[in-house]
Amino acid sequence: MQLKPKDDKHYPYAGDVTAVQCWEMLKSDKEAVLVDVRTKAEWNYVGFPDLSKISNSSLYISWRLYPFMQVNPDFNSELETQLTNKHSPVFFICKSGGRSREAAIEMTSRGFEHCYNVADGFEGILSSAGESAVNGWKNILPWKHI
């Protein structure tokens, strides 16, 4: 699968992908990793990606900490402990692409070579009715709720 090439003028990381593109890469490349950077409350109350059908799994490390949403001071060390191969494709996902973009930029600066932002996120953009039903992981791909 061909992903959007890195354009240094716009992306200080490997690039943006859709949730569907991320799913396809996770399915075809067993070295690829999904890192969900949302908060524990989001994982518990909104749900989380289910990769069991493609024999893959996610890492869950909050980029920002609830309730003040400050950057998690342990994020880098937690990720580097769990993901030692800096050559693997890493896909960062949050609610709608903001926090995951920050995480992709940070980890690229720390030597991870293929950091992608899932730009439509887990919930996607809001519809005209104010619901998250336009795009995003939860709109079309497998997910679970606790």
What is the structure's pLDDT at 128?
79
What is the structure's pLDDT at 130?
74
What is the structure's pLDDT at 132?
65
- The residue whose two tokens read 């067993």 is 30
What is the structure's pLDDT at 146?
79
Q: What is the mean pLDDT of each run of 10 residues along the chain (146 residues)?
A: 56 95 97 98 96 95 96 98 96 97 98 97 85 83 92
In the beta sheet, which residues pair with residue 17?
118
Q: Answer for the pair 21, 89: CB distance below 8 angstroms, yes or no.
A: no
User: pTM score, two decimals?
Assistant: 0.91
What is the structure's pLDDT at 142?
97
Residue 14 to residue 10: CA distance in whole angstroms: 10
What is the structure's pLDDT at 105?
98
What is the structure's pLDDT at 98?
95
- Per-domain residue ranges for the chain? 30-144
Q: b/e for 10-39, b at 16 or more Cβ within 10 A?
A: ebebbbbbbbbbbbbbbeeeeebbbbbbbb
Q: 30-144 in CATH: which number?
A: 3.40.250.10
